[in-house]
C-alpha cells in the first residue's frame, strides 16, 4: 500500500470512501478508466490523500455505491484510515 498526496495517473481503477466515525466506511465513488481519473483529479483538487492498493480497489470496485464496506474489508480499511490519520497528523506516528 502506498499513501501520498498525489498518485500515478496511469491507475485504471479508483474507489472513494467516506467515514463519519460511526458504522462502517461507505463507498461514495468508484470507476475504471476515465471515471477513475476523474475520482483521482477530484481527490487531488481537495488534497485528499490517495492510497495505491490494487487488491483493495479490485474488491471495492464491486461494492455498490452508497453501501458500507463489507465486514471482510474492515481490517484493511482500518489500516488505510490509520495511515491517513497519521499523514494528516490526527494521530501519533509509529514509534
Q: Which of 79, 60, 53 is nearest to 16 (CA)?
A: 60
Closest among 78, 92, 82 to 25, alpha carbons compared? 78
Q: Nearest CA to 17 among 43, 54, 55?
A: 43
- Identify the pLDDT of residue 91: 61
CATH number, span 2-87:
3.40.1690.10
Return the closest-CA partner of residue 65 out of 38, 28, 39, 33: 28
Confidence (pTM): 0.78
pLDDT per residue as tens digits for the range 67-88: 999 999 999 998 888 887 787 6
Q: What is the pLDDT of residues 18-51, one digit of tens each?
A: 988 889 999 999 999 999 999 999 999 998 888 8
Amino acid at each position: 500500500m502506498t499513501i501520498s498526496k498525489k498518485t500515478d495517473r496511469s491507475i485504471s481503477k479508483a474507489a472513494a470512501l467516506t467515514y463519519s466515525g460511526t458504522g462502517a466506511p461507505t463507498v461514495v465513488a468508484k470507476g475504471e478508466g476515465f471515471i477513475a481519473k476523474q475520482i483521482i483529479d477530484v481527490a487531488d483538487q481537495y488534497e485528499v490523500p490517495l492510497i495505491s492498493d490494487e487488491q483493495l480497489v479490485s474488491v471495492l470496485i464491486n461494492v455498490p455505491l452508497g453501501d458500507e464496506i463489507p465486514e471482510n474489508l474492515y481490517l484493511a480499511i482500518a489500516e488505510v484510515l490509520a495511515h491517513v490519520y497519521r499523514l494528516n497528523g490526527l494521530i501519533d506516528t509509529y514509534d
